Amino acid sequence: MTQFTPQPGIMDIALYQGGAAHVDGVSNVTKLSSNENPLGPSPKAVEAMAAAVAAMHRYPSSDQTALRRAIGETHGLDPDRIICGAGSDEIIAFLCQCYAGPGDEVLYTEHGFAMYRISALAAGATPVEVAEHERVTDVDALLAGCTPQTKLVFIANPNNPTGTMISEAEVARLADGLPKGALLVLDGAYAEYVENFDAGAKLIEARSNVVMTRTFSKIYGLGGARIGWGYGPKEIIDVLNRVRGPFNVSTTALAGAEAAVRDTGYVAHCRAENAKWRGWLADQLAKLGVPSDTSCANFILARFADQAEAEACDTFLQARGLIVRRVAGYNLPSALRITIGDEPACRAVAAAVADFKSGQDAE
């Protein structure tokens, strides 16, 4: 027994498992396990970050005005209702810290992102997992799962690791059906991969109980910089800003994100490349007897016959230096989540799965 007792809930947190980046004994690996953009950040973002490094003796902007203005201009949003975080993970943590505590419930879906549960527990709240319907967010199940203790309802749209999404009308029905005092959080980590999608911004303008989180880690290719943002009613953003550290986002991250969000041409290019190779890879795998739901994001959830086959295929891919993600921890033991890489990576995955299915050796 130690004399130091962590706060309730903390010891229930299982450490977040990031995507692997190495395979023992394999030198040339392709990482397809963390939904990173294979094309990297915009060259303009790289340039802006390099220039920002010279001023690292200065603290970063604490009001983050320049980035909030750039996001506002690009997405047609009110900069006063934007908050920036060290990744959208930090915005998720702020939401839990501010709105949920002991005795409160935080809802998320069966195959929902791991950080919802972790942040709920860190805040001392009770995480509640709600069933999906065939790997799709089930609005009726979420509404039925609400109680007077429900304070936050997280959905990712598109969802990770399923890649599926629900319509704006369904999201509106969820928002409108929530009990008073429950806030809907729309996690738009993959929103930029969907053509003409505002991630719920219009729903936010028309309601007081919806916020969204966004990230620079996915299509913008800035996962290493740790930067994301949130948008919602002024009253809620003002609350979140009270717990935000004044210098929570670094100078380099702010500079890179500002250049990245303004480089809409590069984003469109990445979206198109992803859509092209996502469709190609899904078709190839389907022909090999490995189906997947139509993905709206930058990965596909490949479904195998059972857990043993999924794990055997993962091992086979690893031997060829292809690192994908096992998702048993997301209640999907017989599936593998494969990030859409560049053309050579997608071709290598398809060829490896074909060889695996035909019983060839990996080497």
Ligand X SMILES: *Cc1c(COP(=O)(O)O)cnc(C)c1O
List interacting residues with ligand X (CB under 6 A): 35, 87-89, 113, 156, 160, 187, 189, 215, 217-218, 223, 228
Minimum Å gap between C-beta 238 and ligand X is 22
Shortest reach from residue 337's CB to ligand X, in Å: 10
Residue located via tokens 């003002």: 238
Q: Measured from the CB atom, is 88 or 318 closer to ligand X?
A: 88
Closer to ligand X at the Cβ: 83 or 353?
83
Minimum gap (Å) between residue 280 Cβ and ligand X: 22
Q: How far is the CB of 112 from ligand X (least distance, A)?
A: 8
Strand order from edge to edge, sheet including 82-85? 82-85, 228-231, 210-215, 183-187, 150-156, 105-109, 126-130
How many residues in total does the chain contain?
363
Shortest CB 88 distance to ligand X, Å:
4
In the complex, least distance from residue 224 CB atom to ligand X, rounded to whole angstroms: 10
Burial class (CB in 10 A: 0-12, 13-18, 19+), 46: middle
Of 153 and 348, nearer to ligand X (C-beta) is: 153
Q: Look at strands 325-326 and 299-303 and give their pairing.
A: unpaired
DSSP bridge pairs for 322: 30
Which one, 218 or 262, has the nearer CB to ligand X?
A: 218
CA-wise closest residue to 227 among 7, 356, 66: 66
Distance, in Å, from the CA atom of 37 to the CA atom of 270, rounded to the nearest integer, reads: 8
- The residue with its CB nearest to ligand X is 87
Least Å distance, CB 103 to ligand X, is 26
Among residues 89 and 192, whose Cβ is nearest to ligand X? 89
Q: Helix (H, G, I), strand (E, B), or coil: what is residue 303?
A: strand
Tell me whether residue 100 or residue 352 sits nearer to ligand X (CB atom): 100
Looking at the Cβ atoms of 139 and 353, the one nearer to ligand X is 139
Nearer to ligand X among residue 303 and residue 325 (C-beta)? 325
Please list the helix, strand and coil fractions of the chain in percent, rounded to the nearest 5, in that order.
40, 15, 40
Beta bridge partners of 126: 105
The two three-digit tokens of residue 172, written as one number: 């509106």
Least distance in angstroms from the C-beta of 85 to ligand X: 8
Residue spans of alpha helices (H) in the chain = 43-53, 65-75, 88-99, 114-122, 139-145, 168-177, 201-205, 234-243, 251-262, 264-287, 307-319, 343-357
Are 71 and 220 within 8 A, CB to CB?
no
